[in-house]
Amino acid sequence: MSLLEIKNLRAKVDGNEILKGVNLALDAGEVHSIMGPNGSGKSTLAQVLARRETYEITGGEVLLNGKDLLAMKPEEAACEGLFLAFQYPVEIPGVSNAYFLRSALNAIRKYRGLEEMDAMDFLPKLREKMKLLEMDEKFLNRSVNESFSGGEKKRNEILQMEILEPSVAILDETDSGLDIDALKIVAKGVNAMRSPERAMLVVTHYQRLLDYIVPDKVHVLVDGRIVRSGGPELALELEAKGYAAGAA
């Protein structure tokens, strides 16, 4: 059984159909990449899978660990192990990063019947992961994403992923706005999360990220459908030929 199975997924937003029948199967231990031109529906796919309510499902089925994902609310999908690293992480003023993360972790732990983690146990774990992502300790008490640079926001997304330990992680254009150094740090974090129990979907525009996070499979999304799939070399072919020719 695949960890994530997408069958004929159709979705629209603001009255426009964006996803027109997406098919994809993601097995545990795998990292797949979705590439495509602007407007192809990459971000829509990510948001729909994360269950954003502004998107309307018009057809198809998605199974997360065998369970009906489309019947879940965003928080349920999260508790069932789905994580979305946002392309544009939003700010939450007045809520510290440490407090927010611990609350999220405990919400998920509670759902799974685990005991909540108190600050004494949580903070050392958080600090350890922050060090690996080269994030300053000062960040702990700052409000979520407030006054963060683009790079800091993306690293914060990866930090959250490391703490929440999802089964399926969707990274929506995690590389956008990053310089090469930040990119390497983020990639290091993502690669450290690879595991036989986990699957990842890396949504990206450019091939460059895939030099650092080498995917098992690459899919090309054009006009709301996956038109071609292949191994990591497909990404290089797209870079050389462009989407129009490469998608053929």
Amino acid 222 reads: V
Comparison of 72 and 132: residue with beta carbon closer to other proteins: 72
As measured in angstroms, the least distance from the Cβ of 231 to other proteins is: 31
Least Cα distance to 112 among 74, 155, 165, 66 occurs for 165
Q: Shortest Cβ distance from residue 55 to other proteins (Å)? A: 11
Vertex 184, ends 126 and 193: CA angle to 5°? 50
Quick one: 50 or 186, whose CB is closer to other proteins?
Answer: 50
In terms of Cα–Cα distance, which of 11, 35, 80 is closest to 228?
35
Q: How far is the CB of 130 from other proteins (least distance, A)?
A: 17
Nearer to other proteins, 58 or 103 (CB): 103
CB of 75 to other proteins, least distance (A): 5
Residue among 164 and 209 whose Cβ is closer to other proteins: 164
Under 8 Å between Cβ of 98 and 140: yes
Helix (H, G, I), strand (E, B) or coil at 177: coil
Binding positions for other proteins, rule: CB under 8 A: 50-54, 73-75, 77-79, 83-84, 86, 89-95, 100, 103-105, 107-108, 111, 143, 160, 164
Residue 247 C-beta: closest distance to other proteins, Å = 30
> Distances in Å between the alpha carbon of 123 and those of 98, 120, 140?
8, 6, 9
Q: Shortest gap between Cβ of 84 and other proteins (angstroms)?
A: 5
Of residues 84 and 247, the one with the C-beta less far from other proteins: 84
Nearer to other proteins, 65 or 143 (CB): 143
- Judged by beta carbon, residue 153 or residue 217, the one nearer other proteins is 153
Q: How far is the CB of 72 from other proteins (least distance, A)?
A: 11
Q: How far apart are CA 73 and CA 147, in angstroms?
A: 30
Phi–psi pair at 20, nearest 5 degrees: -120, 35
Structure tokens at 180: 């090469």
Longest C-alpha distance within the chain, in Å?
55
Burial class (CB in 10 A: 0-12, 13-18, 19+), 137: exposed
